Chain A
């Protein structure tokens, strides 16, 4: 059915509807009075108020009126257009009218919810309505632009969230580029021994998924790589990826690690990143046994075959000073390449999933806990590695001096729920603290003291987990730790005293322990801000990527075609990260499988007759959508490139650029209506 387009001289007939939104609007705005007032305004043929405009009967009301009263403009005063513009345009279209004859007025978010004086809010509702009533006569019939979508997907970050999203999409037949900054995928989860609430082994569930990513025909896995540039828009993003040199030819390395054994360094000597420096590695190394891809890398900072230090451009120079026993061991596989340089890949994708995760709070920022000062104070991630059977101590919980701790304190909420550091609750720390308490007890039979502010265990199976672990007989002390200091009675062993006030008994406790575990909170990456700019995303004030709508669009962003998964959007546990990754994959697929993107027709065009050829608009366009026709001496806008910001429109000295949906006349009449007198 071709939409009805009113004839040029057909009189404008507006249907106006104000929604009660239950009582959300009606409690603060006298909707009846507003509807009565709007009925008196020019061109208004129908003016109604209704309980829920977005409900089926509400939409039906509009459609019936369009047919019965031959309406050719619709104004709905309700919630934010960012929420329901689509709904009412659809309703308008369903009755045969072009959807762009519909205009929404935001009287809930911008009025009833934020004001306290009913008379004033009612007057404001009238003024806002009047603005729309003045505006809609200028509306034109517009066509939604359909552009094809590139079916390939980019996933940034290969933690559990990125892995799950990648597999979901790849299994559905989509081509996925998974870009991971570190030399291996796996993220934080790969470092854990067991996971709450089930205490199942982390790698047992994770490593099959990692391996599936590594071998999937639909996944291009680019580790040790970073996104350098993103251009374009939904359906058609052009992305540049930088692949840092690992001095190993990926296709030739078989992962045999014979080079590692043959390295001139007989013993591992350098702090091992994967084990947070608790273990040692050689200059050529595999990050950890189950790393994916199972490919070694060379650290040019310590490898003898490189000159010490970086060049100013960040590269390293080969010194050729080493015997290169590794190269001999590699033999005719020839996988080692000291001359490897950074490689740049350019890809085009239609959608992007951000899954860059989090970083743990740096406990040195709260020095009274003694982290970085006393050797026996650890952060939780380090302890995860100590407990891990494939960790630096092969699962033995021993202190730096090789002793088993007999008393262990676990301090909750380090860098969480704290005005001086991070105000948010990191959501996972109470539960992983209980997990660590259980595992430490299991491995060492030590006496464990948990210091918590509030025990927060929401979620399926979590309270049960807490009860189960609590029954194992650990000390649960409700109180904030104020100080950690060396035990004056036992300085030599490195024992420390944990001082806290037990807020249930109002007693100051001073407990000597052998080991302190700081349950550090989750933080956004410090570079999240750069990433956000690169991908044109928004961040919450804390620095987490901002979702489009907390409840209704929790994995979408304000940039169409970019979705969020896992902890980059906020602290969450593994089950929630995976659920969100599945949702992000589904959202991306919903776009891809439609085959095209519908674009808001808010692009600009030039009225050639009026263009004076001054060229002021041309340098203003960030998308180079405006060019100059030398023969006619007129500017031309390429509609396919225009994104509809309207910057050129505002700058044109002869008023010869028009932006659809935001025409000058539309804005001027909106201003007029806003400022027209309203009844007292």
Chain B
């Protein structure tokens, strides 16, 4: 098998953003290229120096801008070019998975893989698997959902306003206004 089978009924194919560390996984992807290991064309790779540079916001931003999945690649444990950036990445990945679950996003849409510079074959396998999995999950379509979410928020605001009006403008008293700091890892 070189490319995963595509669902014949629709012309949709997933778009996956990958963040690969310069030293292992990016090089492995180069090796897959040099060795002409054919694989699915849905993954677009962004090079970072280390998987430790992967800011969870990059992942969220990619999903928000229309990616159907995100793949992170780093060196194997103990092999990070910068000693332990990959552990930091792993920690953030675990937290991020919890957050995605809360947001109703399937955990299979985010994948973290350790791929050494010699594992061109693994790049091919992981990309093909990921494309197959995300194809099965279907489009994530977050940009399309923004309109619906905006409408929901507006409805919500209207309902609150209406309730406040009905209560004579006293409803909000006594409770502290709640502000939320954005979550950081």
Contacts and interface: CB of A to CB of B under 8 A. Distances in A.
A650 B44 contact: no
A427 interface: no
A622 B3 contact: no
A467 interface: no
B83 interface: yes
B37 A114 contact: yes
A675 B64 CA distance: 10
Contacts of B45: 106, 110
A674 B15 CA distance: 9
Interface string B77-105: 01101111100100010000000000000
B117 A546 contact: yes
A113 B34 contact: yes
A651 B17 contact: no
Given A109-B30, A546-B118, A538 B79 contact: yes
Nearest to A614: B184
A647 interface: yes
A389 interface: no
B49 A110 contact: no
Contact of A667 (B3, B56, B58): B58
Contact of B24 (A115, A538, A550): A538
A558 B78 CA distance: 15
B164 to A, nearest CB: 34
B119 to A, nearest CB: 7
A668 B65 CA distance: 10
Nearest to A124: B41
Contacts of A82: 22, 26-27, 30
Contacts of B38: 114-116
A620 interface: yes
B184 A675 contact: no
Contacts of A620: 52, 88
A675 B17 contact: yes
Interface stretch (A87-95, A365-373, A638-646): A638-646
Contacts of B52: 620, 645-647, 650
Nearest to B185: A651
A558 B27 contact: yes
B118 to A, nearest CB: 5
Nearest to B21: A645
Interface residues of A, number: 52
A109 B33 CA distance: 4
B53 A674 contact: no
A65 to B, nearest CB: 25
Contact of B49 (A536, A541, A602, A653): A602
Interface in A267-310: none
Contacts of B3: 116
B158 interface: no
A106 B29 CA distance: 10
B126 interface: no
A609 interface: no
Contacts of A668: 58, 61
Contacts of A250: none
A330 interface: no
A558 B32 contact: no
Interface in A609-658: 620, 622-623, 643-647, 649-651, 653
A674 B46 CA distance: 9
A536 B46 contact: no
A128 B44 contact: yes
A650 B55 CA distance: 4
B111 interface: no
B2 interface: yes
B48 A662 contact: yes
B83 A622 contact: yes
B81 A645 contact: yes
Interface string B4-47: 00000000000101000011101101101110111101001111
A426 interface: no
B118 A540 contact: yes
B50 interface: yes
A675 B65 contact: yes
A36 interface: no
A558 B55 CA distance: 24
B46 A670 contact: yes
B46 A667 contact: yes
Interface in A111-146: 111, 113-117, 120-121, 124, 127-128, 131
Contacts of B61: 668, 671
A664 B44 contact: no
Contacts of B2: 116
B71 interface: no
A19 to B, nearest CB: 14
Given A131-B44, A674-B17, A649 B53 contact: yes
A375 interface: no
B54 interface: yes
A398 interface: no
B66 interface: yes
B53 A646 contact: yes
A558 B92 CA distance: 26
Given A80-B33, A82-B27, A659 B41 contact: no
A539 interface: yes
Given A115-B38, A671-B61, A643 B82 contact: yes
A533 interface: yes
B118 A645 contact: no
A624 to B, nearest CB: 11
Given A116-B3, A117-B41, A131-B44, 11 more contacts: A82-B26, A113-B34, A116-B2, A116-B38, A124-B41, A644-B49, A645-B49, A649-B55, A650-B55, A667-B55, A667-B58
24 contacts: A81-B47, A106-B30, A106-B45, A109-B33, A109-B34, A110-B30, A115-B41, A538-B118, A546-B117, A550-B34, A559-B81, A620-B88, A643-B82, A645-B49, A650-B54, A650-B88, A650-B92, A664-B57, A667-B58, A671-B61, A671-B67, A675-B62, A675-B65, A675-B66
Interface of A: 80-82, 106, 108-111, 113-117, 120-121, 124, 127-128, 131, 533, 536, 538-541, 546, 550, 558-559, 602, 620, 622-623, 643-647, 649-651, 653, 659, 662, 664, 667-668, 670-672, 674-675
8 A-B pairs with least C-beta separation:
A109-B33, A646-B53, A647-B52, A645-B82, A622-B83, A645-B50, A650-B55, A653-B184
